[in-house]
Structure 1
Amino acid sequence: MGKHEFATSGADLQLVGIEKRFPGFTAIEHLDLTIPAGSFFALLGPSGCGKTTTLRLVAGLEEPSAGTVLIGGADVTSLKPYKRPVNTVFQSYALFPHMTILENVAFGLKQRGISDSLGKAKAGLELVELAHMAERKPAQLSGGQQQRVALARAVVNRPELLLLDEPLGALDLKLRRQMQHELKAIQQEVGLTFLHVTHDQEEAMTMADTVAVMNKGRIEQMGAPEQLYELPETVFVANFLGQSNLFTVSVTGENENVLHAKLGQSSISLLKSRSQRSSGSITVGVRPEKLRLHDNAPEPQAGVNVLGPGIITDVSFIGVSTQYTVSSESFGEVQVFAQNVAAGPAASLGQEVHVSWLADHTFGLLDDPTSTGQVEQGASTMMLSQLAKQK
């Protein structure tokens, strides 16, 4: 199918001063957000953070307590859902079981009196590569195929904005990953603005141009996936988007570009440009895959941070990498992810090791350790990370 069939410039979405209060709690505190036309935008966060409420406000399924919703510059805050240039794809597919796939896709077009609705529906099925199944019923399709039908049904209506509410949540892992790539390809093909709500960090990072990490009714940080991963600004973002080793350190000095700090008896350096705070007690972090294991203490080297000695207290072989836990009274526990470039693990349980990483890979977070209760041990923050993922 050629791009001209469904091509549209999409529309930008603006949320201005949005608040949503329910009896007894506030779902959204104060939200200002602009999503550029034609972009794939992901709203990422744990259960209860306000992301689904935000999507429902855009769809018109909820009314804001305060604020304005603008689509393509037009104020739609008071418009009914069916009057908004929006379509939503839900996790549940919501296909009509008694209709064929083709009839399902054409349903919305027929309801609106669009000419050649069946022809447009066939083009929609071609877009999701299911034209050969046009006469089948939904029950004859797999979960992934049903999701593609639901997507085709939404796209043929040519909405300016397509809302995706955990659309891949019901699929198994392999199919979910396949659909992530297909969704991204379709978005690029049709040029619509996609707003994707998910709690799955990999899903958000795989598909979105821009990710907004939401927590307790507000956006903690927003940017390109690689920016959020490499340079998180808060403890929540560092732990929700991937895993992090976090430490509380005391800043001891600085030069033009670098901060120097103490962690127990060890010295830690980081670039000023990679830290949200530059004095006193601060929380710093490094991703587990940035760390290297050493049998002996490495020679001191400018721009390299070293911790040790520590004991390997856990080894988990997961195929592409081996995950080590290194424990020490001086720095708690750190996680090290080592890529498996040789046969078998590079280190063994109970072995004494040192760990090192480049100062360039260290990040300094906004959180004040004294006011947030941030602990010094990397282990405790890793536990917080796991809890966040289970929610």
Structure 2
Amino acid sequence: MNANLAPTLPETRTSGADLELRGITKRFAEFVAVKDLDLLVPSGTFFALLGPSGCGKSTTLRMIAGLEAPSEGSISIGGEDVTSLPSHKRPVNTVFQSYALFPHMSVLENVAFGLKRKKDPEAMAKAQAGLEMVELAHLANRKPAQLSGGQQQRVALARALVNRPQVLLLDEPLGALDMKLRRQMQLELKTIQTEVGLTFIHVTHDQEEAMTMADTVAVMNEGRIEQMGPPRELYELPRTAFVANFLGKSNLMRGEVTGKRAGLLEVDVAGHSVLLPEDRAVQTSGQVVVGVRPEKITIDRTSSGAAHNELSGTVIDVSFTGTTTEYLVDVPGIGRIGTFSQNRGQQPAAVGDTVYLYWEADYSFGLAGDERMDAGVEQ
């Protein structure tokens, strides 16, 4: 977004509101879509509900919007209980993946639609200001069919924002866009949210999208929140195998804690000694699952000489992606370990090579020993 938007922003700026869900459960006959969910989203936050299809994130959004009624629990916005309020009386607006624009109306008329229904005497002026905010004022007289997908999404966003909701709900809003446009819109959405000061609740199954835009991410699985926090914290220190695997890629290895020293756990993983910080482990005794992200691992044809955190195996696959090369290494007794190597002109290994994999102890994290190591892996 450019700096010349500043004059229009005060006209459309509003204040967000806290959103609180208490004991929310949603049942569809025998199926429980959302289970006893407690959630507090502070005012002005860009919050993402992230998870695979069927995890309950869209159902949660629909209950906030008033499109579904919870089976149990309550919903408050700005301290007011809205659980029994119909959708049109809630201080929320929703932006859908499908845009839902009226094809026979101009862009300006689409943005002004909700304001006109409220009989706002300044409907057209506010709609014009909304279009200026999303940099589409020059297309005000066009029909939606004459716009690109990204432009249509911005019109839908402007239409929602000019109604000055306290909470803006985004239901997979970028899913229909191509990758380049999606990344551009991610940045624009975050900029708009910061400028207008609204509470944004964003539902997505796209990990990169959630991490790029959100202040806080809640990873949902089977109707519950597995883990919630800032994107970097969730990525660097997952607390379950589901989060470790769903939010990026992880190498997970089962082992037994054999000792503790200087704040580190020593874990025997198929005869290899692996160290990890005790404060980065969910469980500190008995059987544990040790994890390390692929980009934290160095791959080399020669050993590092370290007594800990080094594995050896055979390269079974090499995938060149442009900026990086991904190596898949079969390690006896452990299985397949993946690592990324930044492309700087080097070629550290080829299929069939024997290689060494090593990493710093601080990059390891520890999960409970009863975790299913394939949990969260996208099929």
- From 306, 312, 336, give the equivalent of 2:310: 306
1:386 partner amino acid: E
- 1:12 alignment partner in structure 2: 18
Give CA-to-partner distance per residue, 1:364-389, whole Å, 9 cap, x none: 113x33xx5x35xxxxx39x6231xx
Partner residue in 1 for 2:327: 324
Find the counterpart in structure 2 of residue 338 from structure 1.
Answer: 341
Aligned CA RMSD, in angstroms, stands at 1.2
Tell me the residue number matched to 1:352: 354
Moved over 6 A (4+): none
Q: Is 1:103 aligned to residue 124 of structure 2?
A: no
2:40 pairs with one of 31, 34, 40: 34
Give the alignment of 1:253-332 within 5 angstroms: 253-300=259-306, 305-308=309-312, 310-332=313-335
Q: In the TM superposition, what is the alpha-carbon distance from 1:234 to its structure 2 partner?
A: 0.2
Question: Displacement of 1:330 after TM fit?
Answer: 2.3
Q: Which residue of 2 aligns with 1:365?
A: 367
Q: Is the 8 A contact 2:74 2:83 kept in 1?
A: yes
Letter of the structure 2 residue corresponding to residue 45 of structure 1: G
Q: Secondary structure at the match of 2:177?
A: coil
Q: Distance in 1 between matches of 2:128 and 2:348?
A: 55
Amino acid across the alignment from 1:41: F
CA distance in 1, matches of 2:219, 2:52: 9
CA distance in 2, matches of 1:5, 1:358: 52
* CA distance in 2: counterparts of 1:75 and 1:45, whole angstroms: 27
- The C-alpha deviation readout for 1:58-87, integer Å capped at 9, x for no partner, is 000011111010000000000010000000
1:136 is the counterpart of 2:139 = no
In the TM superposition, what whole-angstrom CA distance separates every residue of 1:283-308 from its partner, at most 9, and x where no partner exists?
1100000000121222126xx51111
Which residue is equivalent to 2:205? 199
Q: Which residue of 2 aligns with 1:378?
A: none
Please report how far the alpha carbon of residue 244 of structure 1 lies from its aligned counterpart in structure 2 after TM superposition: 0.3
> How many residues are aligned here?
373
* Map of 1:117 onto structure 2: 123
**C-alpha separation between the residues in 2 aligned to 1:29 and 1:270?**
34
1:335 is matched by which residue type in structure 2?
G
Given that 2:11 and 2:129 are in contact with CA atoms closer than 8 Å, whether structure 1 keeps it comes out as: yes
Residue of 217, 234, 239 corresponding to 2:245: 239
CA-to-aligned-CA distance 1:99-150 (integer Å, 9 cap, x gap): 0000000010010011211110000000110000000000000011000000
In 1: Cα distance, 2:303 partner to 2:378 partner = 31
Supply the distance in 1 between the matched residues of 2:357 and 2:105 (Cα, whole angstroms): 61
* 2:378 aligned to which of 376, 386, 390: 386
The SS at the match of 1:315 is strand
- The residue identity in structure 2 corresponding to 1:365 is L
Structure 2 counterpart of 1:158, which letter? R
Percent identity between matched residues is: 60
Does the CA contact (< 8 Å) of 2:21 and 2:76 recur in 1? yes
Provide the TM-score with structure 2 as the length reference. 0.96
**What TM-score does the superposition give when structure 1 sets the normalisation length?**
0.93
Structure 1: gaps of 5 or more residues = 376-380
Q: Distance in 2 between matches of 1:386 and 1:100?
A: 41
Equivalent in the alignment of 1:169: 175
Question: Following the alignment from structure 1 to structure 2, what is the Cα–Cα distance between the partners of residues 263 and 19?
Answer: 40
Partner SS, residue 342 of structure 1: coil
Aligned partner letter, 2:323: V
Please give the alpha-carbon distance, in whole angstroms, between the structure 1 residues aligned to 2:136 and 2:59.
32
